[in-house]
Amino acid sequence: MSSLTPSVKTVAILSAVQEEFAAIRKLMPSVDAETIGGFSFVTGKLGDQTVVLTKSGMGPERAFRCARVLIESYKPSSIIIAGFAGGIKAGVLPGDIIVGTGLLPMQSTLNISGKPQSRAAFSSENAGMLKLLTPDGDLLHKFLSIRFLNANIHKGMILAVPSVLQTPEMKRGLKTGGAKAVDMESLATATACNSKSIPWIVVRVITDGIDDSLPLKFEDFVDSKTGEVSISQLATHVLLHPRLIPPMMELGKRSKLASKNLADFLKECLN
């Protein structure tokens, strides 16, 4: 067990990348920090609640492993699965918040990247990733009852995808099952939570709507050790391809707005 495990009821927030993590961390006045199993954890107050905040890096495998380490080390009372998402319905726009009413499984998106997603990618203990998962009812009711004026709040299904969807054509080509957004980590994290009977809720913020393109394939720049985009590799590539500078700046603005809205909404939920 972590030496920093609080003796009081603790809510965990699991994000994927530094930009999500940093915006939430900024609202925590003071924290204790440590690294366990290769993942960074900070413990402190967000709003009125004692919180342990972590980031997994991109992708379902890392999200599942991080969630297991989080649960085993801190034994949280519940986990908020939080971070960026892509919108796949009209009217779900950058900066909007989506509270997930359910998570649709990966097999419904097997061919979107042109590479079938293997059912053997996870062990048998991850069989939950092959079925619809629903969040804790009490948490869902609480989060949907929050009055938040800084962004539009949507409720709806979130579809698991194996890679970032770069173009509107990729998003429109999905069999969505009625989902309003896509992400890579939520389903894996929820599966880990269910395996240990930990209540969970998903809160995502939209960085790109159905008509928005991403400037490049960010997975090509991921550092395998951290699961995050290597800023130095990305910067070098952009400088070598100046046409990418304007769309990268636009994405930066959208991401900044999204991360702020996410952090502010979570603080409001925990007050």
Residue 81: which H helix or E strand, with range?
A: strand 78-87
pLDDT band of residue 219 (cuts 50, 70, 90) is confident
Dist. CA 234–CA 220, nearest whole Å: 9
Q: What is the CATH number of the domain that holds 123?
A: 3.40.50.1580
Cα separation, 266 vs 34, in Å, equals: 22
Domain with 90, as residue range(s), is 11-213+259-270
Q: At 50, which helix (H) or strand (E)? A: strand 49-55
Q: What is the pLDDT averaged over residues 157-172?
A: 92
Q: What is the pLDDT of residue 1?
A: 44
On the question of pLDDT at 183 being above 50, the answer is yes
Tell me, yes or no, whether 247 lies in a domain.
no
Q: How many domains, in total, are found in the chain?
A: 1
pLDDT of residue 133: 95
Q: What is the pLDDT of residues 119-147, one digit of tens each?
A: 334 444 554 556 789 999 999 999 999 99
How high is the pLDDT of residue 120? 36
Kindly state the helix (H) or strand (E) to which residue 24 belongs, with its residue range.
Answer: helix 18-25
Examine residue 51 and state whether it is found in any structural domain, yes or no: yes
Instruction: Enumerate long-range contacts of 161-164, CB under 8 Å, 24 or more apart.
Output: 161/106, 161/109, 161/112, 162/60, 162/106, 162/109, 162/112, 162/113, 162/115, 162/117, 163/112, 163/113, 163/219, 164/86, 164/214, 164/217, 164/218, 164/219
Q: Per residue in 14-55, pLDDT tens?
A: 999 999 999 999 999 989 999 999 999 999 999 889 999 999
> What's the average model confidence in pLDDT over 188-202?
97
Q: Are 40 and 55 in contact (CB under 8 A)?
A: yes
Residue 229 within a domain: no
Does residue 7 register a pLDDT over 80?
no
Q: Determine the 3-state secondary structure of 266 from DSSP.
A: helix
Whether 175 is in a domain gets the answer yes
In a domain, 222, yes or no: no
Does residue 161 belong to any structural domain of this protein? yes
Residue 45 included in any domain: yes
Determine how many CB atoms are found less than 10 A away from the CB of residue 117: 19
Instruction: Give the pLDDT of residue 124.
Output: 41
Mean pLDDT of 157-181: 91
| Alpha carbons 43 and 218: distance in angstroms, whole number | 30
14 by Cβ neighbours in 10 Å (0-12 / 13-18 / 19+) ranks as buried
Residue 233 lies in a domain: no
**Length of the chain, in residues:** 271
Both ends of the chain: CA-CA distance in Å? 27
143 in Cβ contact with 203 (< 8 Å): yes
Cβ neighbors of 84 (< 8 A, separation 6 or more) are 16, 17, 19, 20, 183, 204, 205, 206, 207, 255, 258, 259, 262
Q: Which two tokens stand for residue 205?
A: 């913020």
Structure tokens at 72: 């085993």
What pLDDT is attached to residue 176? 82
